[in-house]
Chain A
Amino acid sequence: MSSTYPTIHTVGLSGVLVTFAEALDDTANRAALAFRAEVDAQGWDWVHESATSLISAFFRTDLAQHPAAEITAQLNDLLATRDWFAAPLPEGRKLWHIPAVFGGDLAPQLDEAAEAAGLSPKDAIAELTRTRMRVITIGFAPGQPYLGTLGEHWNIPRLGTLSPNIPRGALVAAVRQLCLFSNDTPTGWRHVGQTAFHTFRPTSDTPFPLSPGDELLFHATTPEDYKTIAANNDDGTGGATWEALS
């Protein structure tokens, strides 16, 4: 645990950010998740909403109504109560099984991603379907998970030139992470797999199926099976199932 972290910063007049590390780090991610859960459990009236990013917890408030100094003091007191870096993962986590097509026309950048990782396409698919990937944060777009963490050889850079339009449900890889796209989007991440899993289901009772701490296991499927799933996907589940983890 670094002596300078955690830090507390105001964010505009919209809230405060508690940051647990300088760079992406698994213990800092767990600390942020645990600290956010504990602040939510306190039920403080100044907290209008909360969120975690990769290594921070954000608490939204109106700093014109709730003085930053008082909030900071309260957060510091709570930070001092335990070693947040040793916190366990949140409760109520799920293990998701999600069918995905790897390579071919539906995920055309698998081969170059494998090469960048020093693997054959077959070995790359084996690793991507064997590794339980954890949701380290949800963000950027609605329900969109960032998944960690692949082995060091997957520390492949983003592409210098953006691919103009990668579809919703795409599984993309860069910097030891995978991301599962909520919407069609341009990106520098490599398109290695394609799912029919919708991470944002606006008309559902559970519009955001994934939560930080959930784990995802991808199961290789054929293009034919994928097309059948995608054609019968009104609820957006994309053939995925889940089981309780904790």
Chain B
Amino acid sequence: MTTALKVHQIGPATAFQDLGRPGYIASGLTRGGAIDTLAVHEGAALLKQSPDCAVLEIASVGGVFEATGPLRIALTGADMTARIDDANAAWNAAHQMETGQRLTIGAARSGSYAYLHVGGGFDAPVRMGARGGHLSAGLGRLIAKGDTLPVMPDKGTRTGFYLSRDARFDGGTVRIVPSVQTNHFPPEERARFEATAFKRDPRANRQGIRMEHDGTGFAAQGMRTIVSEVIVQGDIQITGDGTPFVLMCESQTTGGYPRIGTVIPADLPRMAQTPAGGKITFQFITLDEAVAIEQKDAKARAGLAATAQPLVRDIHAISNLLSYQLVSGAISAKADPFD
């Protein structure tokens, strides 16, 4: 029988994800996939497996999952409280679970989207070439209490490693490049956009993130006559009342609102993870600068596995501390520990 995770409790918005379903823009379907693809790569690096493996994307709060057999897991993205049975489980790390053990994932302490990876990846149904849900298009569904999530055979063995966390979970500066309609915004309007302190509105999902700010809205020239045009992930559209929306992985494929710029791919994870109320400023950079950043970022992503470090167990996290043989091996304080 295949190994699986049984879902005993689940938050309101958890679904299978992967790196998306490219190739359907012409048919009106955006790529979808994980909203924080860096977290997908981090989980793959921790488990030393392909980033194409299906994962669980968890918004706001996790759930309780029981292993029906031994399996490896990794936790990445938004930092949520996590326990395996009664022991705390470090975030941004890979762990072993044994048959019958329960993983409890709580609420986010920072960030917006958490990821649960399993060794081998989840055996989610393949639809149109990918396993990730695209719920606005009707592909896939939310995970529900009582579900059994089958896991693919796992060829790997490594657990007990972690990756250091970056600073993408609390807002900050998001870099953007000019796009097709940027010139419809007068220079002073673009300067004001860069100088504005935005807050991520609670109205945000996988389709788009509404940004709020004090002061008047932003406006392009000839806004009402712009012909509907293709959307790419990271486009910042300015709606009729002057509010910016950052369009994310599950947006519509075309839009009639003008776009002031496009978030560079390297900063999309920060955009995705900034929690409601988190502060964001946008900074224009040139296409050449963006290309250099993206090349460096791709290299860093490919080298993630090499940066994983062995997890040192926190003594307070060891629930059965008293059962460990802590003294019998301590023969001499002078003994070389590396002997």
Contact = CB atoms under 8 A, between A and B. Distances in A.
- Chain A contact patch, size range: 35 or more
Interface string A3-15: 0000001111111
B273 interface: no
Contacts of B29: 142-143, 200
Nearest to A14: B232
B155 to A, nearest CB: 29
B28 A141 contact: yes
A143 B235 CA distance: 22
Nearest to B139: A202
Contacts of A54: 227-229
Interface in A145-171: none
Interface residues of B, number: 40
Given A13-B177, A14-B233, A142 B26 contact: no
B127 interface: yes
B234 A12 contact: yes
A97 interface: no
Interface stretch (B65-73, B106-114, B291-299, B321-329): B291-299
Interface string A70-102: 000000000000000000000000000000000
A141 B252 CA distance: 6
A14 B136 CA distance: 22
A56 interface: yes
A140 B26 CA distance: 10
Contacts of A11: 179-180, 230, 232, 262
A142 B27 contact: yes
B225 A13 contact: no
Contacts of B254: 53, 137, 139-140
Given A54-B228, A139-B28, A141-B137, 15 more contacts: A10-B177, A13-B262, A13-B265, A14-B262, A14-B265, A17-B180, A23-B225, A50-B26, A56-B230, A64-B290, A64-B291, A140-B228, A200-B28, A202-B127, A208-B28
A117 interface: no
Interface in A196-211: 200, 202-203, 207-208
Given A11-B262, A51-B230, A64-B295, A144 B26 contact: no
Interface in A12-29: 12-15, 17, 19, 22-24
A63 interface: yes
Interface in B209-229: 225, 227-229
A60 interface: yes
Instruction: List 4 tightest A-B contacts by C-beta distance, closest first.
Output: A12-B262, A64-B294, A51-B26, A139-B254
A130 interface: no
13 contacts: A9-B179, A10-B287, A11-B179, A19-B180, A48-B22, A49-B22, A60-B232, A64-B291, A64-B295, A141-B137, A141-B253, A142-B24, A142-B28
B128 interface: yes
